[in-house]
Amino acid sequence: MRRRRQCAWPYSQRIQRRSCPLRRQRVETLQGLRIGVPTEFFNEGLSADVGAAVEAALQQYEALGATRVSISLPRTKLSIPAYYVIAPAEASSNLSRYDGVRYGYRTPSYTDLADMTSRSRAEGFGQEVIRRIMVGTYVLCHGYYDAYYLQAQRVRRMIANDFQQAFAGQCDVIMGPVTPTVAKRIGDNRDDPTADWLADIYTLGVSLAGLPAASIPCGFGGADSSLPVGLQIIGNYFREGQVLAVADRFQQATDWHQRKPELK
């Protein structure tokens, strides 16, 4: 018999479905809910206004009956390089079908088949998409696959294991900021497109691990306190109902989701 190659995806392990006590119900108390707060989410890279808004949200959850526990996700910083190897590689592979023949946009002016494909992709894709396709094509090239893509998949598995260790006996949900800073204004970081990649440090690990998560408004920050701040709620596999119920309970007790920033 042929030996099956072990997959690096988080879903390759057998996961038992568990019943969720907060599923499909409008809860009035969060008594007994354990909220894991990663220490790596509250370091020197987090802006003071975002940290204050998230701290106030955590205190609100404690007032509703939840218990806060400190946890560690030690490979948080590795999520950025791992994600920006895996995601561009997948984009390069998946978007190769958009050649102007079978899918998507076709340039109106071309000389031959190769020119049509080249022009269609250059005109149809934005700069960020083209950037990711080029990075992904590079890491999938012969000689670089093992050095980059395969190593990133191994890091992905370790990141998923970090989350599972936290959920195993320490907490029911994990909470923290969505980004290290408040929402950016349109046009910010236009000269440095990769600067936005660093803002994903708190969310990329969740995507790599394949976990359900929700982001809800929890305050405002910035120089004039007009830019929104988000609270991230992360659940275990198949616990989408719990994540939504916990988020809904916060919105029952606060009105951040109804407030609008004063734009100037």
Chain segment 60-103, per-residue pLDDT in tens: 999 999 999 999 999 999 999 999 889 888 888 877 777 778 77
- pLDDT tens across 16-62, in order? 555 555 544 555 678 889 999 999 999 888 889 999 999 999 999 99
What angle in degrees, to the nearest 10, is found between the helix axes of 240-253 and 48-63?
90
Instruction: Report how far residue 151's alpha carbon sits from residue 133's, in angstroms, rounded to the nearest whole number.
Output: 19
Average of per-residue pLDDT across 167-180: 93
Of 205, 229, 204, the C-alpha closest to 215 is 229
> In the prediction, which pLDDT does 56 show?
94
* Mean pLDDT (the chain, rounded): 83
> In the prediction, which pLDDT does 236 show?
95
Average of per-residue pLDDT across 234-260: 92
Query: How is residue 5 written in tokens?
Result: 């190659």
C-alpha distances out from residue 175 to 54, 86, 108, 200, Å = 9, 25, 49, 15
Chain center to CA of 177? 11
Of 198, 163, 165, 192, the C-alpha closest to 180 is 198
Asked if the model's pLDDT at residue 196 lies above 90, the reply is: no
Any idea of the CA torsion for 83, 85, 88, 93, to the nearest 10 degrees? -120
Average of per-residue pLDDT across 2-7: 43
Per-range mean pLDDT, top range of 24-33, 74-83, 128-137, 188-197? 74-83
- This prediction has a pTM of 0.80
Q: How confident is the model at residue 190 (pLDDT cuts 50, 70, 90)?
A: low
Q: In what order do the strands lie in the sheet with 213-221?
A: 67-71, 34-38, 173-177, 227-234, 213-221
